[in-house]
């Protein structure tokens, strides 16, 4: 005598590992604006940031040409930062 349902009649559900996951594309995820003003603002912002980047690159190129090489040096004010913080606590 069978107790309960028969295993062969039950449907098998796929496990989580077997289920297909959606393929995500790489890159920036931004919801596209629907208003023309918002689109215009975004394009203006992109063009301005591109212009700023090219300007900075040109300035760095001229500096390296005139001086020969660039070096990054820590600022000398790191030791003075602790004394200024005690003055601001008053």
Mean local confidence (pLDDT), 32-61: 90
Predicted structure pTM score: 0.39
**39 touches 33 (CB < 8 A):** yes
Higher pLDDT, residue 79 or 26? 26
Least confident window among 36-40, 46-50, 69-73: 69-73
Calpha distance 57→82 (Å, rounded): 34
What pLDDT, on the 0 to 100 scale, is given for residue 83?
52
Residue 6 has pLDDT above 70, yes or no: no
**64 touches 70 (CB < 8 A):** yes
Which tens digits make up the pLDDT trace of 53-67?
999 999 988 888 888
């Amino acid at each position: 005598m069978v107790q309960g349902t028969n295993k062969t009649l039950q449907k098998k559900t796929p496990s989580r590992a077997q289920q297909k996951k959606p393929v995500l594309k790489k890159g920036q995820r931004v919801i596209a604006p629907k208003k023309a003003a918002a689109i215009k603002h975004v394009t203006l912002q992109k063009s301005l940031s591109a212009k700023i980047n090219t300007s900075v690159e040109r300035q760095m190129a001229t500096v390296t040409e005139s001086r020969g090489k660039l070096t990054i040096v820590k600022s000398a004010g790191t030791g003075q930062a602790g004394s200024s913080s005690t003055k601001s606590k008053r």
